[in-house]
Structure 1
Amino acid sequence: MLKALSLLLLVGTTRGEFTVLERRDSPPSGFSRVGPSPSDTVLNLRLAALTQNNISGLHDTVYEVSTPGNSRYSQYLSKEKVEAFVAPSKETLNGVNAWLKTNNLTSSPITAAGDWIAVSLTVSQANALLAAGFSTFQNTESNQTVHRTLSYSIPAALRTGINMTKLSTVTNRSSPTTSISSDCPDNWTPTCIQALYGVPSTPATPAANAFGVCGFNNEFADEKDLTAFLETYRPDIASNTTFSLISIDDGINNQLPSGAEENPTIGLQYALGLATGIPVAFISTGTGSTDSIDVFTAFLDEPNYLLSLAQPPQTVVQTFDSVGFKFESSFTPQLAESICHLLYAQLAARGVSYIVNGGDFGACNPFSSTGCRAWDVAIGGHLWGRLFQHFYDKVVSEYLNAIDATDASPFNISRRAVPDISALAHSPLIFQGQTVSGQSGTVFSATIFASMIALLNNERIAAGKSSLGFLNPLIYQNPGAFNDFATGWDPVTGFGSPSYAKLREICQKI
């Protein structure tokens, strides 16, 4: 039988003693060991972090092209120029291929730059190659079985580091900034949200602009529900307005009632209900299961596919919510950073605004243990690794000083602080033919803000300008574009809720 496995291997050359690369004392929560994996089971390994040519150059470029006022602002890179930053050296490729050849194995690239490769091999080959002990583990809730190892090794000389991060944005409830209906506080419909944040309702004239809404694990939104949502809450636009499909890893949109899920439903209904006139694409990434490694594979394959496009969507919102963070908690820091530092950094260099909801648990999220949020805008609330801190270190330090935070505080004061901003997280939707009122979640917040960015990107492109790309430098330079609930940044609402008019004014000047 064929089983998929994704491993992070940090590799360089082939000589020297073997060293343990990753090890954990016990399986992730919810999994128990059944016994050794059958020796003839086929594993598909993802080998990552082949030494890139110039990662620091990529990161420097991202900040230069994303920071208003910089001479390189908005001069985003082509697909080929981004790939040149991350392509591994010939020495690295030769070393890895020699190591595999010694074990009668070959690899194939899974990225255009060749910095991620795939190797198919049996459990017995993997145990020998990696000094590992692959076993069958069973999920206690779903009874699903997977083949994993708690420890693996590579030649010591093959080990090199990869430091990568990702950018985030957060969302919560916010107070009104304009005159709105008295009914709105009980029912934050698209019309109420437009009034609250000043979002235009007149259909935009589409430029070369697209808005991507992500779904994972074969989740999708029911088109009949979308039609009913538009008929109910946006009767001023055509109810047959719909979305296109981008399928990754055989991601589906088969419209079977059992496959529809709330998060992509929220994402698509509010993207189409708020970003009026902007073409929306549903990015469906299928994995077939929700164990942590398969979630990692989805998080790897989605940005890789977007990077392969000559023109990826300029605005992308990720709808994967707290369940995703639960499985993400079993990622090692190397796995998380390999995706964040490299793949999402490349999207930023291409001018993509990638917006992530921070999850419903905020800084008290009981699931997440990794420190990975830096190349997207985060809407929610956690304190993560402060890996690219120069654009927000001042405001976060001011907050920590104000509350007299120390190393004994119930959060890690050295890590990346989120949220960046906040927005409503409480609105109605139509799901499985029923109106669901009072639904809450930061997926609402992220989609609201992403819809505003999609509209602003469209205006800029129509005016002959670039998209906004990596948003955090702009946000932290312009806290006045947000309606704050306290003085300065705070870990509940960030800088506060966005004002479309103020953001538009800033975007017209840069």
Structure 2
Amino acid sequence: MLPSILLLFPLLVAATSGFHVLERRDSAPAGFTRIGSPQEDQVLSLRLALTQGNITGLHDTVYAISTPGNSRYGNYLTREEVTEFVAPSSETLSSVNSWLASNNLTASPITTARDWLLVNMTVSQANALLVADFSTFQSDATNETVIRTLSYSVPAILKSSIEWVHPTISFPQAKSSRPPSSLKRPTTAASAQPPASSVSADCRMNSSWTPVCLQELYGIPSTPAKPTTDLFGVSGFDNDFANLRDLQTFLEIYRPDMNPNTTFGLITLDGGLNNQLPGGAGLTGNPDTQYAVGLTNGVPVTFISTGTLPDDLLVEMLDQANYLVSLENPPRTILNTETPQLESLLSSPQIAISMCNAYAQLAARGVSYIVQTNIWGAGSVPIPDCKSFDASFPATCPFVTAVGATEFNNDEPEEVASQFSGGGFSDLFKRPKYQDSAVSGYLKATDNTDSSAFNVSGRAIPDVAAIAAISWIFDGGVVDFLEATEYSATIFASIVALLNNERIAAGKPGLGFLNPLIYSNGDAFNDMKTGSNPGCNTPGFNSTVGWDPVTGFGSPSYPRLQDVCSKL
């Protein structure tokens, strides 16, 4: 019994000395084992999330400026105006800094709003400050170690000032595997051929969708975009790089009408790089930039490389969002196809809430932020004994646009839902009003799914969908085939970047946060009425008329979307 008593001791102290337990968990997540205690003088870099001043007011403003027909539509906020909403009160800042100073610690602000503070302290100081027991845990899968605690506390007087501290009880989540693909074997670039003239028939038969095929499928213009200063940002995390030489080869093969020397810009943060050495490119950054450049034809594309933080992918994503909010003129379209995180495996829901609030700030700035859902259907996990459907974050955040997957079956003439398209309902975020009518209609019209397996009142995903199968160039000129929802998101984001570019070239504001526009213009999409996304030993959800949790409203029709946008 002695070890159990020792583990409970910090909680007993917190309960008897004017401290409030901010977060706790009963044990480390499956796959992690406590192997001992770190050196007491080892330095930890802890982030304190302070209570934001008026986050509800920010959310209300986002919906107003993003909803067509509202008198404020398109009146996006400056970074200073966003700061006014999220900046902590002076009392909050004063009390938190005084508490730290009394423990001989100093905080550095991470954001201009000062709602995030960074404090470096030793393990010994952290244990004393937070009434915690920081220990070393090892991943059974990778043998990598992390320092975490199972609970931590703050003075009770500060419980309304500090929302959470990180990293504390949150453990890293392994990346999902992509579904196996045997549809095409790699070939050398020299033997690859441009698409034949009968594009539609060839694309349906070949299964992989090149830029020319996508132009015909979705009505995407092939002519160069009008020159503007607006940017299309493509995200890169965890040392997943984009190769310039591979882009040139891609354009030579698949867009011979474009200048093969067309390139992309680079933004780095948190020590990010863009390694151009052989083998340095990844399965995300490389195909994402190739299709972003190849589909938008003249829209300036920028690769945003965020450095790898120790076991902290979600904080990398949060840092990127906070950085973009701070820019005077952020890119109007941002693509993030990083592997989604399962909501049920998020050690702390607070990190998802904070990230979603950061995406709300981007929405307030007029940014269209686009992500993928997941690749394992309704269950979102390749686990045969899963008990309930598990939605993926950040797709479940109400302030991003989530993209599912479609496909063509053999030589069938119609696009249908892909069986691995992630979709479902959030357990963290309630359903936003903009999707009430569409989602309620689906739930009333279908009875194919056991509602006990998901939260019917949660934010529903996806919002839209697109083809998931692409051809790309990797490692010095090898042509390969890939299929996953992240490439669906890349295709849809490229279309949005073109629409934003057209509006800005015409002197209009960008589209900003897309979802209110999407849910009021469902007929601008190609409705998928066939297919399902089985998961957890169930048929999953069915694709049906109108919105559904497999393909959302369906795949984009550029001409119809262009017509909608021209009337805004």
- TM norm. shorter chain > 0.5: yes
| Cα distance between partner residues in 2 of 1:406 and 1:103 | 54
The alignment yields a C-alpha RMSD, in angstroms, of 2.1
The structure 2 residue matched to 1:209, chosen from 230, 240, 243, is: 230
The structure 2 residue matched to 1:325, chosen from 334, 341, 351, is: 341
The structure 2 residue matched to 1:499, chosen from 557, 565, 568, is: 557
C-alpha distance after superposition, 1:95-151 (max 9, x if no partner): 111211221111111000011111110000000011110111122333222211111
| Cα distance between partner residues in 1 of 2:52 and 2:431 | 19
| Cα distance between partner residues in 2 of 1:256 and 1:135 | 38
Match of 1:149 in 2: 149
C-alpha distance after superposition, 1:311-334 (max 9, x if no partner): 11100000212xx42699334111
| Cα distance between partner residues in 2 of 1:200 and 1:215 | 27
| Cα distance between partner residues in 1 of 2:243 and 2:485 | 20
Bigger Cα displacement from structure 2, 426-435 vs 67-76: 426-435
Deviation at 1:260, TM superposition (A): 1.5
| Cα distance between partner residues in 1 of 2:112 and 2:277 | 34
Report the residue type matching 1:488 in the other structure: G
Match of 1:43 in 2: 44
Is contact 1:267–1:447 with CA below 8 Å preserved after alignment? yes
Matches within 5 A, 1:147-296: 147-160=147-160, 180-185=199-204, 186=206, 187-289=208-310, 291=311, 294-296=312-314
Deviation at 1:251, TM superposition (A): 0.6
Bigger Cα displacement from structure 2, 367-376 vs 186-195: 367-376
Deviation at 1:213, TM superposition (A): 0.3
Deviation at 1:155, TM superposition (A): 1.6
Matches within 5 A, 1:366-385: 366=381, 372-380=396-404, 381-382=422-423, 383-384=425-426, 385=428
Matches within 5 A, 1:45-194: 45-48=46-49, 50-160=50-160, 180-185=199-204, 186=206, 187-194=208-215
The structure 1 residue matched to 2:370, chosen from 355, 379, 403, is: 355
Report the residue type matching 1:335 in the other structure: I
| Cα distance between partner residues in 2 of 1:233 and 1:401 | 45
| Cα distance between partner residues in 2 of 1:142 and 1:296 | 19
| 1:467 aligned counterpart, secondary structure | coil
Is contact 1:295–1:327 with CA below 8 Å preserved after alignment? no
| Cα distance between partner residues in 2 of 1:55 and 1:434 | 48
| 1:85 aligned counterpart, secondary structure | helix
Matches within 5 A, 1:338-349: 338-340=354-356, 342-349=357-364
The structure 1 residue matched to 2:351, chosen from 323, 329, 335, is: 335
Deviation at 1:302, TM superposition (A): 0.4
Structure 1 residues 327, 246: closer, same or farther in 2, change over 3 A? farther
Structure 1 residues 273, 328: closer, same or farther in 2, change over 3 A? farther
Is contact 2:524–2:557 with CA below 8 Å preserved after alignment? yes
Task: Determine which structure has greater relative contact order: mean sequence separation of CA pairs < 8 Å that are 6+ residues apart, divided by chain length.
Answer: 1
Structure 1 residues 370, 379: closer, same or farther in 2, change over 3 A? closer
Match of 2:28 in 1: 27
Deviation at 1:207, TM superposition (A): 1.3
Deviation at 1:476, TM superposition (A): 0.1
Bigger Cα displacement from structure 2, 146-155 vs 466-475: 146-155
| Cα distance between partner residues in 1 of 2:281 and 2:458 | 36
| Cα distance between partner residues in 1 of 2:53 and 2:210 | 49
| Cα distance between partner residues in 2 of 1:158 and 1:259 | 46
Is contact 2:431–2:457 with CA below 8 Å preserved after alignment? no
Deviation at 1:303, TM superposition (A): 0.7
Match of 1:403 in 2: 446
| Cα distance between partner residues in 2 of 1:19 and 1:440 | 48
Match of 1:306 in 2: 324
| Cα distance between partner residues in 2 of 1:288 and 1:47 | 17
Alignment of 1:365 onto 2:380: yes
| Cα distance between partner residues in 2 of 1:273 and 1:207 | 17
| Cα distance between partner residues in 2 of 1:26 and 1:370 | 23
In structure 2, runs of 5+ residues without a counterpart are 1-15, 165-197, 383-389, 405-421, 530-544
Is contact 2:270–2:309 with CA below 8 Å preserved after alignment? no
Report the residue type matching 1:308 in the other structure: S
| Cα distance between partner residues in 2 of 1:190 and 1:369 | 30
| 2:491 aligned counterpart, secondary structure | helix
| Cα distance between partner residues in 2 of 1:299 and 1:156 | 30
Question: How many residues end up aligned between the 2 structures?
Answer: 474
| Cα distance between partner residues in 2 of 1:252 and 1:104 | 35
Deviation at 1:374, TM superposition (A): 1.3
Deviation at 1:58, TM superposition (A): 0.6
Report the residue type matching 2:350 in the other structure: Q
Deviation at 1:388, TM superposition (A): 4.9
TM-score normalised per structure 2: 0.80
| Cα distance between partner residues in 2 of 1:453 and 1:369 | 24
| Cα distance between partner residues in 1 of 2:200 and 2:51 | 57
Matches within 5 A, 1:385-464: 385-404=428-447, 408-464=451-507
Is contact 1:386–1:417 with CA below 8 Å preserved after alignment? no
| 1:19 aligned counterpart, secondary structure | strand
Report the residue type matching 1:266 in the other structure: P
